[in-house]
């Protein structure tokens, strides 16, 4: 694996790593186990659950996909350009926005999927996308965020113990 870049912003620790989402979940399944997902991008688009996924408790509201509590050992489907907000309890985030992030500020109740922007990284604090990301995180308040973009996987969490565990596993690769 390549370099892991890490930092802190407010109550969140974050990292960028050159690892695929499936590998990340295989290595660190506790990131999503016993938690709920709000899916704001699935393979660069809106999450559309299959009949089987609907029967298993997944649903969509405001073009945001939601999972039931995820059991340990059964990671969700990954397709690339996925963006997940990991929640400790089920709740709706609002609606997915297709607005241009550069002309519209994030507001509570509207989520802009940032993982689909090719240059999105947290390690460049001068980047407008990073600033907008932290504004959005401030009102969404997830336990964790996972974004599988073009250049890297981004993981941010306010769970310090979880972050320490994830960093140790990634650094051991």
Cβ-contact 95, 110 below 8 angstroms:
yes
pLDDT tens digit sequence for 8-28: 999 999 999 999 899 999 999
Neighbours of 95 (CB within 10 A): 13
Residues 6+ away with beta carbon under 8 Å from 164: none
Terminal CA-to-CA distance of the chain, rounded, Å? 6
pLDDT value, residue 76: 65
* H or E, element range at 171: helix 160-171
Predicted pLDDT at 1: 55
């Amino acid at each position: 694996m390549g370099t892991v870049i890490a930092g802190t912003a407010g109550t969140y620790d974050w990292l960028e790593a050159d690892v695929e989402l499936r590998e990340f979940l295989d290595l660190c399944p506790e990131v999503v186990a016993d938690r709920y997902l709000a899916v704001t991008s699935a393979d660069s688009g809106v999450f559309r659950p299959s009949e089987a996924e609907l029967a298993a408790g997944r649903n969509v509201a405001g073009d945001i996909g939601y999972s039931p509590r995820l059991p340990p050992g059964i990671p969700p489907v990954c397709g690339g350009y996925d963006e997940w907000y990991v929640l400790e309890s089920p709740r709706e985030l609002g609606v997915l926005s297709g607005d241009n992030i550069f002309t519209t500020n994030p507001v509570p109740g509207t989520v802009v999927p940032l993982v689909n922007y090719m240059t999105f990284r947290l390690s460049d604090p001068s980047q407008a996308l990073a600033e907008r990301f932290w504004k959005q995180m401030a009102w969404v308040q997830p336990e964790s965020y996972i974004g599988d973009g073009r250049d890297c996987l981004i993981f941010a969490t306010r769970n310090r113990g979880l972050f320490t565990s994830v960093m140790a596993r990634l650094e051991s690769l």
